[in-house]
A and B are shown apart, each in its own frame.
Chain A
């Protein structure tokens, strides 16, 4: 195992109090980010693929839908929900919120609940 393929290699712990980083991400989900936000995003994106949220391209450049990488090769790969995204930034923000909740165990304040 090398340090880019070790699923447990990142030390960063997401601080649920750092709502400034949530704000920064929301302002530009696909943009260039501050060093601290880059660390947070790297932590969210790191880890074993099983269970990872991914976007399935329904129509290239137009429509995407959420799914998860299954545990075993050969298993079916259903969609997570019914939502069809027509903007990658919107999808990125949605996944960010799901991961925030999953990884910090806290729900984001109401001001962050809505779409972009």
Chain B
């Protein structure tokens, strides 16, 4: 059957919910009702060549049909300033302007600042038209709005100061553009004066906006600006354009600027969603839909790359017409998670219900149930990689990345969710994709539908991870599930109840707290089974003021689909460098013994044991297997346990000296290529057929207080567990590790030699 997977869309208000607590679901559909069931997933992979789609249908009061609204997604970020009329020109003079750096001039007008409302045609604003001309829009008491254009085009990605001066007493206006010198281009400026119509209607009765117009009076916005805006200011006195531009906005005690109505200093509160007005009027505002702060401004000198060291050089905000943090949908249904439910990966199953349901209409909203206050804990906990799911949420790489087919080495296979994303781009893409203006996406939130974090969705990450849950269930191993969001918010406390933790196929995105929580846990005697590859790779952060959003920057080096602009590597939310953990002195090798080595674009490989594997310390791992077996020369989807993305042992990068490299990969081909941070210059001899550093290593080491770490170093390892009805050597060694790690007998670190 060919399923329609997007007839219903939705998202939870919280991504993980402890048993006994409440989660709200926001759903949308063109259909008027939705049938809701709750599934606890064992394997979310519908591909019939694998273990199969396995789940338990739960019973709860949320089951049954619910009325459903058709709820739109309205992307686009802007600032909103409530002003009680203080930002409406009255009589006399009114001057306003800002630095702008447009990154996309196309399709429709792009608002800079004003209170203009398109529906009522009241208010005033500065905007750029679809050609890049500066335009003043004014409401008239009757008739169509008055529009005056400066017939000189702004250029994309060039800073300019744009402004307008109204003289309402004389009935005149002037528009100006000043383009300071840059590189070989000399300074330029132009201005033009216009006679104003008599009966203006400049009061829309609505908040003042930066980077958008009001579409109507219902807090809906339009004409979003793509690009940076810096230092917007408003004066109620006569100033020429250059005087308005060079106005010194810095506050001094006991001094005020005559005629200053508002001056928004975006360098103030970069890690927040507030914008501060430095004028005595206190016309502060707030940002919606998470535009990017911590971006270089007009005054960036290049001498610092961290906005915290010189915020004044980072006084711009980069707005995007396709920013989306929160769909702001109404709640459709609420689930009080029963206290006795087991933790795990859960999903709402959404179908059409009624007497004659469409059997091919089936959609999901995934959420995670964690142990509640009263839950009895298992000894082993799986930590779901929510940060990674978010980083890849609605990845459109298969649609828009130039080199993606070359990377995959086959014609791209697009799930129908990709077609939906192409046809409905307002859903917002992943941190691997670019905004419509070409700049990389720094944010991804769970307050929007995520198509590839669902059963029937693209398998990379979440669906692959459920293969590990399926194996745990098959082997009868009791486990709890938490997410890395709990590690981020609660630190090592989230892991403390457990003897063993397991990270799944691809825990790539890790925040400071998440990394330190695991290190503290391991050093306190915890045991960590790292089942994946490309693990603990990017330093990222949840935004403190927008906690459902993960923020990434693509700095320094690393396998990336876009690169941060110069000077924009530090996260706006936390100030940390958004780069590889390797470049923060905490390479993954330091945590789990292995770290990112290469991507496998063609055939997968397998492991062979090393001489070190004969050490008595690791004898328990290989019990029941042969010394010279190929480990994992099989597997679902990838056909090998060493594949997709692989990690290797490296003492210099922090692998503990007593770690044992117990197996290493074999069989990799020319499509196994190293990640860029692994080489300094490009030379022949880098690929998997030639280069011995292009490999996956399996490692084991003991930690303090009786703990231990086992790492596989490969994303595809987990998809080999179910081979031959779960009877295979990857399953055997994994079970050996799980059983020994669950055994309370302490591991002993070898004495230093």
Tell me which residues across on chain B come within 8 A of A83, comparing CB atoms.
none
Tell me which residues across on chain B come within 8 A of A38, comparing CB atoms.
670
* Contact segment of B7-15, B283-291, B396-404: B396-404
Beyond the given pairs A60-B415, A77-B419, A91-B411, 7 more chain A to chain B contacts, judged by CB atoms under 8 angstroms and listed by A's residue number, are: A49-B400, A49-B404, A52-B412, A53-B411, A55-B413, A58-B2, A73-B436
The answer on a CB contact under 8 Å between B422 and A49 is no
- Chain A 1-24 against B: per-residue CB contact (8 Å), 1 yes, 0 no? 010111100000000000000000
- Report 17 cross-chain contacts, Cβ distance below 8 Å, ordered by A residue: A4-B402, A30-B410, A32-B602, A52-B405, A54-B412, A55-B413, A56-B414, A57-B414, A59-B1, A67-B419, A69-B399, A73-B422, A74-B424, A74-B425, A75-B422, A77-B419, A92-B410
Tell me which residues across on chain A come within 8 A of B406, comparing CB atoms.
4, 42, 45-46
* CA A104 to CA B165, docked complex, whole Å: 60
* CA A18 to CA B562, docked complex, whole Å: 36
Pick from A45, A61, A64, A67: contact of B405, CB under 8 Å:
A45
- Least CB separation from A47: chain B residue: B402
The answer on a CB contact under 8 Å between A49 and B419 is no
Q: Is B303 positioned at the interface, with any CB of A under 8 Å from its CB?
A: no
B1-47 residues at the A interface, CB under 8 angstroms: 1-2, 46-47
Tell me which residues across on chain A come within 8 A of B49, comparing CB atoms.
61
* CA A69 to CA B396, docked complex, whole Å: 11
- Least CB separation from B400: chain A residue: A49
Residues of A in contact, count (CB < 8 Å): 41
Chain A to chain B: the 9 pairs with minimum beta-carbon distance, closest first? A45-B405, A73-B425, A60-B47, A61-B47, A45-B406, A5-B402, A54-B412, A4-B403, A61-B49
Given the contacts A55-B412, A57-B413, A59-B1, A7 and B602 also touching, CB distance less than 8 Å:
no
Tell me which residues across on chain B come within 8 A of A59, comparing CB atoms.
1-2
Q: Is B669 positioned at the interface, with any CB of A under 8 Å from its CB?
A: yes
Given the contacts A41-B409, A70-B422, A49 and B48 also touching, CB distance less than 8 Å:
no
* CA A91 to CA B418, docked complex, whole Å: 19
Q: What does DSSP make chain B's interface, helix, strand, loop or mixed?
A: loop
Q: How far is the CB of B409 from chain A (nearest CB, A)?
A: 7
Tell me which residues across on chain A come within 8 A of B403, comparing CB atoms.
4-5, 46
- Which residues in A have some Cβ–Cβ distance to B below 8 Å? 2, 4-7, 30, 32, 35, 38, 41-42, 45-49, 52-64, 67, 69-70, 73-77, 88, 91-92, 95
Q: How far is the CB of A80 from chain B (nearest CB, A)?
A: 12
Q: Is B140 positioned at the interface, with any CB of A under 8 Å from its CB?
A: no
* CA A63 to CA B30, docked complex, whole Å: 28
Given the contacts A4-B402, A46-B403, A92-B410, A60 and B419 also touching, CB distance less than 8 Å:
no
Tell me which residues across on chain A come within 8 A of B603, comparing CB atoms.
32
Tell me which residues across on chain A come within 8 A of B516, comparing CB atoms.
none
The answer on a CB contact under 8 Å between A57 and B415 is yes
Q: Is B416 positioned at the interface, with any CB of A under 8 Å from its CB?
A: yes
**Number of contacts between A and B (CB, 8 Å)?**
93
Given the contacts A32-B669, A61-B47, A73-B425, A56 and B419 also touching, CB distance less than 8 Å:
yes
Q: How far is the CB of B461 from chain A (nearest CB, A)?
A: 16
Q: Is B423 positioned at the interface, with any CB of A under 8 Å from its CB?
A: yes
Tell me which residues across on chain A come within 8 A of B47, comparing CB atoms.
60-61
Tell me which residues across on chain A come within 8 A of B423, comparing CB atoms.
74-77
* CA A35 to CA B669, docked complex, whole Å: 12
The answer on a CB contact under 8 Å between A55 and B425 is no
Tell me which residues across on chain A come within 8 A of B405, comparing CB atoms.
45-46, 52
Tell me which residues across on chain A come within 8 A of B669, comparing CB atoms.
32
Tell me which residues across on chain A come within 8 A of B563, comparing CB atoms.
2
The answer on a CB contact under 8 Å between B411 and A55 is yes
- Least CB separation from A94: chain B residue: B411
Q: How far is the CB of B597 from chain A (nearest CB, A)?
A: 19
The answer on a CB contact under 8 Å between B2 and A95 is no
Tell me which residues across on chain B come within 8 A of A30, comparing CB atoms.
410
Q: How far is the CB of A31 from chain B (nearest CB, A)?
A: 9
Tell me which residues across on chain B come within 8 A of A5, comparing CB atoms.
401-403
Tell me which residues across on chain A come within 8 A of B46, comparing CB atoms.
60
- Chain B 407-444 against A: per-residue CB contact (8 Å), 1 yes, 0 no? 00111111110110011110000000000100000000
* CA A49 to CA B402, docked complex, whole Å: 6
* CA A54 to CA B416, docked complex, whole Å: 12
Of listed A42, A52, A76, A88, residue having the most chain B CB within 10 A: A52
The answer on a CB contact under 8 Å between A49 and B411 is no
* CA A42 to CA B602, docked complex, whole Å: 13
Q: How far is the CB of B614 from chain A (nearest CB, A)?
A: 33
The answer on a CB contact under 8 Å between A92 and B411 is yes
Of listed B1, B2, B405, residue having the most chain A CB within 10 A: B405
* CA A45 to CA B423, docked complex, whole Å: 23
Tell me which residues across on chain B come within 8 A of A70, comparing CB atoms.
422
Q: How far is the CB of B311 from chain A (nearest CB, A)?
A: 30
* CA A57 to CA B403, docked complex, whole Å: 20
Tell me which residues across on chain B come within 8 A of A46, comparing CB atoms.
402-403, 405-406
Pick from B2, B398, B402, B409: contact of A54, CB under 8 Å:
B398
- Least CB separation from B399: chain A residue: A69
Q: How far is the CB of B310 from chain A (nearest CB, A)?
A: 28
- Least CB separation from B637: chain A residue: A61
Q: How far is the CB of B666 from chain A (nearest CB, A)?
A: 15
Q: How far is the CB of A71 from chain B (nearest CB, A)?
A: 11
Q: How far is the CB of A58 from chain B (nearest CB, A)?
A: 5
Q: How far is the CB of B410 from chain A (nearest CB, A)?
A: 6
Q: How far is the CB of B265 from chain A (nearest CB, A)?
A: 34
The answer on a CB contact under 8 Å between B401 and A49 is yes
* CA A77 to CA B416, docked complex, whole Å: 10
Tell me which residues across on chain A come within 8 A of B1, comparing CB atoms.
59
- Chain B 708-732 against A: per-residue CB contact (8 Å), 1 yes, 0 no? 0000000000000000000000000
Q: How far is the CB of A65 from chain B (nearest CB, A)?
A: 10
Q: How far is the CB of B11 from chain A (nearest CB, A)?
A: 21
- Least CB separation from B463: chain A residue: A60
Tell me which residues across on chain A come within 8 A of B404, comparing CB atoms.
49
The answer on a CB contact under 8 Å between A57 and B425 is no
Q: How far is the CB of A55 from chain B (nearest CB, A)?
A: 5
